[in-house]
Amino acid sequence: MEIATGIGRGERLMSSTRTRTNPVPVTNLIALSLTVVALLFPIGARGQAQILDVNQGLPDLDSRAGTAVSPTSTQLSLVAGMGASASWNQFGTPQSLIKYGDFLTTGLTGDPVSAALGWIRANKSLFRLSDQGVNNLELLNDSLLAGNAGHAVIFRQHFGNLPSAQDGLITVGIVNGNITYVSSSAAGDGNVPGVATLSAVDAWLKAAADVGRAVGPDSISGLVVKGTWTMFTVAGFSYPQRSRLVAFPTPTEGVRPAYETIVLDVRGGQATAYASFVDAQTGMVLFRQNRVQQLATTSAFSGTYTATACGMPNGPFAAPTGTKTIDVVATSSLPTNDIVLNLLFGSTVVASSDVLTTPEAIHYAPTGGVPVGNYSVQVCPFDANQTPPLTYAGAITINDTVSTQPPLSNTPKWKFFTANPPLNLSSTDTRIIGCWLDSLTSLTPADQECQFALKNLASRAPWDFNLRTNVPNFTTTGNNAKSAEAWFSPLTPGPTGFQPADGNRRYVFDWTNTWQTSKCFQPFVTGVSHDISAATANLFAMHNRMHDWSYFLGFTEVNSNAQDSNFGNTDPSREHDPELGDAQAGAATGGQPSLLGRDNANQITLNDGIPPITNMYLWQPIAAAFYSPCVDGDHDMSVIGHEYTHLISNRMVAGPDANLTGYQAGSMGEAWSDLDAVEYLNEYGFVPTNGENPFSVGAYVTGNKLKGIRNYGLNSGPLNYSDLGYDVPGPEVHSDGEIWNLVNFDIRQALVTKYNASFPASNAQLQRDCADGKLPANLCPGNRRWIQIVYDAWLLMPAAASMLDARDAYLAADMTRFGGANQTELWRIFARRGMGASASSNTNQDSDPTPSFESPKEANATITFNAVASNEGNAHVNAKIYVGQYEARGVPIADTDPATPLSGTAMFVPGTYDFVAQAPGYGMFRFTRSLLANQVATMIISMPTNLASNTKGATATASSTLSTSASDAPSNAIDDTENTDWSGTGQLASPQSITIHFVGPKTIRQVNVSTMLRPGQNRFTALRQFRLYTSTDGVSFTPVFTSAPDAFPGAIPRPAAPDLILRSFTLPAAITATHLRLVALTNQCKGGPGFQGPQDSDPLNNSDCTTGNSTQGDRIRVTEVQAFSSTGSASGGGGGTGGGGGTGCQDDDLRIIGPSIATPGSPLTYVVTYNTADTGDTGCQIANDLPDDLSFVAATGGGTFTAAAHRIDWKLPSLPANSIGSVSFTVQVSPGAASGEVLTNKAYFAGFGLAPTTLLDTIVLLELP
């Protein structure tokens, strides 16, 4: 996956409609059938995870023809009889089955596997199985939840003698004989597949041609059969290729014989990895998924050799009486250099090793023991095909026992950044030295430099140890990971594949920050340039850290982790797959013009037993695309951890082969990667490092300390389930994953609050003990309980999970581990983010799901919305009501139009909500309300007439249009919606403009402007600064308002969605005019300071936005221009933007403005502004609730502070209509406030007895003093 917003909407579309079945009633179930033939969507859940929306590869494909199968009445009755809820997959079997807050059944006997299988047999018709169908199930995995009695038992269907692939799974969650949850892709009894007429190679050739990598049969060589796979090499491909025969179920066309093929290549920084299923009879590609998701006594020796001669012997090494074995290992500095390792007794070679790859290892154990005497070691070239540097390192161990891992003579040590280098981009080396020790007590003199103890049971041996040869590797290769330089990347790692080596196992290499200090320009010298040794060692250490931390949460050998040796815990076919880390991938060849080796990170996750691959890249500013500093992603742990978590989530969900599939699953995959990486950093207290938001991803590689690579930090944002597709690219897994980020962070914080008294999250030692796996989750702070629920839920959920399926898996995981102790908190958060009791989704491909904000565990508010035209005698307005801040591509929660099927009434779990009301002729109006338990109310939304609306007769012309297409027309800017826009060109030559002609003279006081783009448009073409002109004759125009230079404040690394959505601007005075003209002074490209000028020294890369990409710099886009004579208001239904205890306050507009970053002990000043709108005010009151870590200093405007309430109050004087005023207050941050704390002020009108409403959450991220 990748880290950032960039890949297109992904994953496979199921050929069914998944419908939620509630316990009662079971009637009125609508099963919509959808015929699916060759349905294409960009990039799957395991799809390319690029940070930018480039180099995405082919879209995923599911070409299963036929209609979906609907559940039968028998199945529905079974679900109802359990009192359960079910969603249904394309095969007409339960995708997700849960009994909320209870067990599906209790009191089962026997071990978890037999109990689960017995339950399936008792309910076989639910899965469309006969007794024989149940007998054809094989146990795929029995996963014990970490530190818990719960199990996730996975069964796989067999059809004939072939295992089902991709689908045909049943997962049962069970604890102490109680079934908590069931998910499945069971395909019924099916049929015995026909006989394959194609060979494994034939099928692979068709799969390769399908992804644009066609080769001939003469390119194939070296066929071998390894387990169920046929493996072979293909000329021009860097990896062995694979193909195996499986059964592929379809909903209505039966079970097809098919070859599962893997087309894999890594070259020049570009990763290619496709898993395809090819019909074994017809050769048709049935399914395709992009799997790139775009983080004794021992003596050491080293030396050199030449391309034609051996190096000098190393030694002598004395073998005393009683020596039983001698173990020798040597590693070439370049793994592609083939060396021969010789052990000499005197001048005689007594043992030799040449296994074609590095490291070479000798185990010398002659019968009767090792002869006493001096031994030496010599390294020779295998042939003259050698690439400098011709250096090596190794060690010799002389043992007086026959076996086992030799004792450590030197403590293995790694120097690494715990989170990232300095965010100010200085060259100060802030790395620490971690050592393979149990603790830092009683250190030997040689270990005084150790700062962090790394030894743990998850790895069982030091990270650099080879458990097969029983000797160290002396480089960045071990049981969990292998990391190497990949500048050119025709091999992985490779092509030079440099790995830093140290015979003393002290992997402490210089870091001089050269990519930054050279400003992205310096020659690439193997083993030397751009701190490659330090980068490779850092990547290796971080992969091992993620391996060890996640192991204690449940990512073990049984649950398909990545290890060379699984210590006998799995079948041998699931071994030999450590994480392969490509450091600085494609760096030498991936700059301009291809940019394949820049500004990205990705993960290739293949089946258990096939090594996964991570590519980490150098970062560089790119004109009109992405403005990152010159830094190395190999040092940003939030990025590394993000990529590594793609491996975790894809391997843990649905067993060792299936992995996450589908758009919503892909979105959650991106979120889980964000969340997991950040949780690791927070549990160990590694963030913040320098005032950044500790819940941001990629602060170092992007230079953005607040939100990193995302639109929002993980800890604050307005998004909910109705917002899928909200961002500029449209439905897209990275942006839409941010919805799941916010859901999970809210759950995290809710559990932190709940358990904080007994298990304080501020206790650093407690957090460390929990992170190290020393304490079970039920003895840990709430954040550890949350992340444990996530890992447990992965084992329970289906591969094609929707966010609602994942919700259910979380609820089931809580039942399994904590006995349902957190059901209320979970439901509350899911409901507040739109995933409440009545939410639904038409498969996990649905980008327009039905949101619900009601909880089944609490008393909800019932709100009826009514919109009226405040300038038209309060006539009824047909308006759509959205929850959140986004209208374009959103799904409304209510509609005041009685002719539409959507009701005007909705239920809400208590809380504060943002709303957007949108109506033709009335534009858009944003407001915020706090809703209470058991509240039943009608909310009146007063919407002034949009004088610039084409519905009200206004017309628009523009100085230019990008094309003659209607999609670029100026009329799009006056249609009351952010779904369309005007596109102009010529902005570099002169400011472009759009002119609106009203129907007769109109009085204007407020103008709303949006530059929210349509999918496929470049972010840097959006409007940034503008000037408004008015005219009474359409000929002479007078300037009346100039916006701030950052009216739409896009910032590095690129303009984000929250920077572009609709904003309101109040004119200095009311103006009467017949025409309104908006002149675009700058677009984001020209107006953004962070996008201007040369930002690196690369002569091939012009990073200036306007000259480096004049095509985008010349374009301008404006989405909406709305003009009003007054402001809107909302009243009733709770506290909000209306109200204030007096008269006339209901239509007032209130805003609070404050700083975004502060330091402990610093003073802060906030300004609260108000606008009285159409009516005069008498007796209005403003209140502001202060958070605990802000102390009152002073207030203007007669503000008084009440210490007991920790609140500031103002009584406003009587004010005429359309008055604008402000008050301000000064506070001080507590000196003891924690770095990274988020402080929220709440300003609101008071006096109506309504709950306080947050009009603007002002976030203050505390920097380190």
Q: What is the pLDDT of residue 1133?
A: 65
**Range list of β-strands (E), 1050-1134:** 1063-1083, 1115-1118, 1120-1124, 1129-1131
403-423 burial code (b ≥16 CB/10 A, e <16): eebbeeebbbbbbbbbbbbbb
Q: What is the pLDDT of residue 1265?
A: 34
d(CA 215, CA 280): 19
Domain membership flag for residue 226 = no
Q: Is the pLDDT of residue 139 over 60?
A: yes
Q: Is the pLDDT of residue 9 over 50?
A: no
Summarize pLDDT for 1189-1247 with one digit per residue, the tens.
888 998 888 889 988 888 898 888 887 776 777 888 989 888 877 766 677 777 777 64
- Per-residue pLDDT band for 878 (boundaries 50, 70, 90) equals very high
Summarize pLDDT for 708-759 with one digit per residue, the tens.
999 999 999 999 999 999 999 999 999 999 999 999 999 999 999 999 999 9
d(CA 1217, CA 1234): 44
> Kind and range of the H or E element at 807?
helix 803-818
Residue 142 Cα distances to 129, 139, 869, angstroms? 21, 7, 62
Q: What is the pLDDT of residue 1139?
A: 35
Give 586's contacts (C-beta < 8 A, 6+ positions apart).
268, 269, 270, 486, 487, 488, 489, 596, 597, 615, 617
Q: What is the mean pLDDT of residues 269-287?
A: 90
Q: What percent of the chain has pLDDT over 90?
A: 69
CATH number reported for the structural domain that contains residue 1196 in this entry: 2.60.40.1510
Query: Does one domain contain both 102 and 134?
Result: yes
Q: Is the pLDDT of residue 32 over 60?
A: no
Last residue of a domain, one of 1124, 1157, 1172: 1124
Is 1169 exposed, middle or buried (CB count within 10 Å of its CB: 0-12, 13-18, 19+)? Answer: middle
Summarize pLDDT for 1034-1089 with one digit per residue, the tens.
999 999 999 999 999 999 999 999 999 999 999 999 999 999 999 999 999 999 99
Query: Does one domain contain both 1111 and 1157?
Result: no
If one compares 655 and 424, the residue with the highest pLDDT of the two is: 424
Summarize pLDDT for 188-226 with one digit per residue, the tens.
999 999 999 999 999 999 999 999 899 999 999 999 999
In the block, tokens 């390792």 appear at 341
| Parallel/antiparallel/unpaired status of strands 94-98 and 1115-1118 | unpaired
Give 664's contacts (C-beta < 8 A, 6+ positions apart).
724, 736, 801, 802, 803, 841, 844, 845, 846
Domain membership flag for residue 48 = no
Summarize pLDDT for 656-705 with one digit per residue, the tens.
888 899 999 999 999 999 999 999 999 999 999 999 999 999 999 999 99
Q: What is the pLDDT of residue 1100?
A: 93
Domain membership flag for residue 26 = no
Phi, psi for residue 937 in degrees, rounded to 5: -155, 160
d(CA 645, CA 1): 9
Residue 1252 Cα distances to 381, 552, 942, 1138, 1152, angstroms? 77, 43, 20, 11, 14
Q: In what order do the strands lie in the sheet with 241-249?
A: 39-41, 60-62, 285-290, 270-279, 255-267, 241-249, 229-234, 220-226
d(CA 216, CA 235): 10
Last residue of a domain, one of 1064, 1092, 1124: 1124
If one compares 442 and 895, the residue with the highest pLDDT of the two is: 895
Q: What is the pLDDT of residue 1144?
A: 53
Q: What is the mean pLDDT of residues 404-421?
A: 80
CATH number reported for the structural domain that contains residue 976 in this entry: 2.60.120.260
Q: Is the pLDDT of residue 268 over 90?
A: no
Q: What is the mean pLDDT of residues 105-124?
A: 96
d(CA 817, CA 706): 35
Classify residue 1035 as left (phi > 0), alpha (psi -120 to 50) or beta.
alpha
Q: What is the mean pLDDT of residues 1174-1195?
A: 82
d(CA 533, CA 779): 40
Q: What is the pLDDT of residue 404?
A: 39
Q: What is the pLDDT of residue 1197?
A: 84
Domain membership flag for residue 585 = no
Q: Is the pLDDT of residue 29 over 50?
A: no
Query: Does one domain contain both 1008 and 1103?
Result: yes
Q: What is the mean pLDDT of residues 289-304?
A: 69
Q: What is the pLDDT of residue 406?
A: 42
Query: Does one domain contain both 1040 and 1146?
Result: no
Q: Is the pLDDT of residue 649 over 60?
A: yes
Query: Among 518-527, 857-866, 892-901, 950-959, where is mean pLDDT lowest?
Result: 518-527
Q: Is the pLDDT of residue 458 over 70?
A: yes
Q: Is the pLDDT of residue 292 over 90?
A: no
Last residue of a domain, one of 1124, 1146, 1164: 1124
Query: Does one domain contain both 1115 and 1143?
Result: no
- Per-residue pLDDT band for 15 (boundaries 50, 70, 90) equals very low
Residue 1139 and residue 1245 in contact, taking contact as beta carbons nearer than 8 Å: yes
Give 1080's contacts (C-beta < 8 A, 6+ positions apart).
984, 987, 991, 992, 993, 1023, 1025, 1026, 1116, 1118
- DSSP string across 204-217: HHHHHHHTT----G
Name the residue type at position 633: G
The token pair at 700 is 């170092």
Classify residue 834 as left (phi > 0), alpha (psi -120 to 50) or beta.
left
Query: Does one domain contain both 1193 and 1116?
Result: no
Q: What is the mean pLDDT of residues 874-890?
A: 97
Q: Is the pLDDT of residue 11 over 90?
A: no
Q: What is the mean pLDDT of residues 140-165?
A: 94
d(CA 1059, CA 1043): 15
Residue 210 and residue 262 in contact, taking contact as beta carbons nearer than 8 Å: no
Domain encompassing residue 1004: 950-1124
Domain membership flag for residue 364 = no
Query: Does one domain contain both 1120 and 1221?
Result: no
If one compares 238 and 980, the residue with the highest pLDDT of the two is: 980
Summarize pLDDT for 594-639 with one digit per residue, the tens.
888 899 899 999 999 999 999 999 999 999 999 999 999 999 999 9
- Per-residue pLDDT band for 655 (boundaries 50, 70, 90) equals confident
Summarize pLDDT for 500-547 with one digit per residue, the tens.
999 899 999 999 999 999 999 978 887 789 999 999 999 999 999 999
| Residue 833 CB-half CA count within 13 A | 27
DSSP 3-state of 308: coil
Q: Is the pLDDT of residue 1020 over 90?
A: yes
Give 227's contacts (C-beta < 8 A, 6+ positions apart).
573, 609
- Per-residue pLDDT band for 405 (boundaries 50, 70, 90) equals very low
Q: Is the pLDDT of residue 247 over 50?
A: yes
Q: How many residues does the chain have?
A: 1265
Q: What percent of the chain has pLDDT over 70?
A: 89
Count CB atoms within 10 A of the CB of residue 348.
Answer: 8
Phi, psi for residue 183 in degrees, rounded to 5: -130, 155
Domain membership flag for residue 93 = yes
Locate all alpha helices (DSSP H) within 653-777, ordered by sequence: 663-683, 699-702, 733-755, 764-771
Is 589 exposed, middle or buried (CB count within 10 Å of its CB: 0-12, 13-18, 19+)? Answer: middle
Q: How many helices (H) and strands (E) does the chain have?
A: 18, 65
Q: Is the pLDDT of residue 46 over 60?
A: no
Query: Does one domain contain both 1058 and 1177?
Result: no
Query: Does one domain contain both 956 and 1082?
Result: yes
Give 906's contacts (C-beta < 8 A, 6+ positions apart).
853, 862, 863, 865, 881, 893, 894
Closest CA to 926 of 1014, 806, 1006: 1006
Average pLDDT over the chain, rounded to whole? 87
Count of the separate structural domains present in the chain = 3
Closest CA to 679 of 822, 540, 546, 563: 546
Domain membership flag for residue 279 = no
Q: What is the mean pLDDT of residues 553-558?
A: 95
Domain membership flag for residue 1188 = yes
Summarize pLDDT for 1142-1172 with one digit per residue, the tens.
445 555 667 777 776 777 788 888 888 777 6
In the block, tokens 């358990």 appear at 755
Query: Does one domain contain both 1120 and 1141?
Result: no
Query: Does one domain contain both 968 and 990?
Result: yes
Query: Does one domain contain both 1111 and 1167?
Result: no
Q: Is the pLDDT of residue 1256 over 50?
A: no
Q: What is the mean pLDDT of residues 66-93?
A: 92
- Per-residue pLDDT band for 769 (boundaries 50, 70, 90) equals very high
